[in-house]
Homo-oligomer: A and B are copies of this chain.
Amino acid sequence: MKKVILIGAQGKMGQAALTGLQKHHVITASRSGNGTDYQVDITDKKSLKALFEKVGPFDAVVNTVGYCEYADFTDMTDEQWDATVQSKMIGQINLVKVGLEFINDGGSFTLISGILNVKPIPMAIADATTSGAIDTFVRCVAHELPRSIRINVINPTVLEEAWDVYGDMMPGFQPVPGTLVGKAFERSVDGFITGQVIFVDA
């Protein structure tokens, strides 16, 4: 049994991840802190550090959050780009950087991207671009991590559980059940792979 910090536990992706973490001691965190063990804002390094300090030694961090703005490229403002970059991209990078100071030897980080960087759709250029950045970051930074620490990223298509929200903007996409995405998180946390982009698509 590993001690796993799950960030974004209240969201649909967090609930999907949770299905793959049943054998572990899962400590939950979310932006609001409502219904979770801890509050954390991944865009704030101090908030991340405070979370890791409060939790104490842990074996894995699973992140399922990354805020994105959606707009046509020609309409997307500097502020929308910045909000997306600071959360989905830099937020996750900082999560790893700060987490490295606290995670146990042989621990793992599992980040989140999303299928729109390989299956583009209208309105999603910031989501796609930052997903591409995170997929690349994981593939490359894995070579640098000390103490046998691993890192992977889950790149899922839309969840069945979120199809009512996203279905209209994703014509021709086949949603997958959260439990299948949960398997990907499990494979990252419980396997020995590192530097992998684990696609979950149908």
Contacts and interface: CB of A to CB of B under 8 A. Distances in A.
A111 interface: no
Secondary structure call for the A interface? helix
Contacts of A139: 117, 120
A109 to B, nearest CB: 12
A73 B120 contact: no
A97 B85 contact: no
A170 interface: no
A130 B136 CA distance: 8
A59 interface: no
Nearest to A139: B120
A129 B131 CA distance: 10
Contacts of A120: 139-140, 143
Contacts of A34: none
Interface in A7-35: none
A141 interface: yes
A164 interface: no
A83 interface: no
Contact of A125 (B76, B135, B141): B141
A133 B140 contact: no
Contacts of A85: 85, 89-90
Contacts of A6: none
A83 B52 CA distance: 27
Given A120-B139, A136-B117, A137-B128, A144 B72 contact: yes
Given A81-B93, A133-B133, 4 more contacts: A73-B144, A85-B89, A117-B136, A132-B136
7 contacts: A72-B144, A73-B97, A81-B90, A85-B85, A89-B129, A129-B133, A132-B135
